[in-house]
Structure formats: C-alpha cells, structure tokens
Structure 1
Amino acid sequence: MSETVTRPINVTRLFTDEAGESHFVEEKLDLNEVNFAPPAPSMFLSAPAEARASVYLLCPDGYFGDFHPAPRRQIMTLLQGELEVGVSDGEKRRFLPGGSVLVEDTSGKGHSTRSIGDSLLIVTQL
C-alpha cells in the first residue's frame, strides 16, 4: 500500500471573534498528491469546497470601503493591483497579485478595503 503524500500551504483567514472583532490568522491547509488530470503527472490538491458563484471584482484606484462585514463567506484572490485590508483589532495587511484570503467576517465590525491602483480580484463565493 502506498503512503499518501501531502504538502502544506499557508492560508490567510479573516474572521470575526465572539466579541464581534475581526482578525487575520495564518492557517495550514494540507494538499494531497492525486492523479488529477491523467495522463499528466500527479499534483497536489486540497479537499473540494462547494462554490455558489464566482465573479470578477474591480476596485478602481483610490477605492476605499470603510469597515463592513463580508456579504458572504468567500475566497478573494487578487489578480492585479494592490489591496490594503484592515481589521478591527488594528492590523492592516497589503495583498499583492497572487495573494488570496478566506473571508469569513460575515458579522461584527468587519474589515476595511483600500485599492492601490486598479485592483482586479476573482471572488469565489462559498
């Protein structure tokens, strides 16, 4: 019997605590080696997540959205531009193209968003 090979990746998660404050946390997600697209060689894949919709979102240069909760649980991946996201505990993070965040702050104080340059994202709603 062959041993399952896994590779961990870092995932940024934005969430709300019991007091309604929002925070960032870095978590590990294990990817398992699978024969995903035969006859191509095996690659590493996460467990599937059911998606409701996928949309492109463009925040024009200078866009600022003050603190707001996310409309739904979603994965946001930046394709171009730069985003600065603030959480209610005072932390701010800048996301560059290729950066992704699991957004789960659907209640509480939420987060703020500032676009530096035209920021294009793909948003996968869960």
Structure 2
Amino acid sequence: MTLPALETLRPATMIDDVCVPRSRLADMLDGTAAIAEKYALTIGVCAHAGDGNTHPVVCFDPADPDEARRARESFDEIMALGLELGGTITGEHGVGVLKKEWLARELGPVGLEMQRGIKAVFDPLGLLNPGKVLDL
C-alpha cells in the first residue's frame, strides 16, 4: 500500500532498487532522507529490511522542469550512496535503461565487458533488447 500512497503526492514517481549490506541499512535510510531534504523532494522508502534491499520512491512533477531535474539528480545520488555503502544499484528488479550508466560504474570496464561477452554467446545477432543495457 505504500506505493499507491506515495503516488498520490505528485504526478510521477521514480522507483529505485538499491541493496546494501544489512549493517548499512540505517545509513541508507538516513542518507536517503538527507538527499530528500537537499533536493526538497518527498522520497519515501519501502524495504526488504531482512536482506538490505531498499526501494526509494522519488515523488515529482515531470511538468516542472526544475523539479524533474532535482528528481533525476536525487536518483543519481541515491545510486551513488548505495555503491558507497558497499551495495548494488539493483537488488532484485534489474538495471533497465534508467540505471544503464550506473551498471557501468558498479561493474567497471572488465565486469561490463564480461557481461557483454555472455550476452554475445546467447545473442550473437544482437536481437534481444537491442540498444538497451549491453550494447554489442
């Protein structure tokens, strides 16, 4: 019921999926609250506390260019916070286009090239999700 409640606050939401070690969960929640304050946005957080998986939900109005910019910047800071705390940019929902650049930051060039190699084995013609996360 949390997401429907948050969706009533602003016309749009951007949902993150950041997982951190359980010992850093409080740091993730405190850091997200500080980011919300910094950008003057409502950012609610749902979590699977038992495994450190958080779902910060950035509430914003896409028709307001300044608010949309602040929402995107807050999203990026939340991703950076998760990595800084020893976590991952995706706990369970995958990367998607929105976090494409963050996957490269998390994996590094060697890890990203390894992922591309695996994709090439299973999709040598580049037919699956062309131009999305793992460009060949």
Normalized per residue, the structure richer in helix is: 2
User: TM-score, structure 1 length as denominator?
Assistant: 0.24
User: TM-score, structure 2 length as denominator?
Assistant: 0.23
> More relative contact order in 1 or in 2 (CA 8 Å, sep 6+)?
1
Normalized per residue, the structure richer in strand is: 1
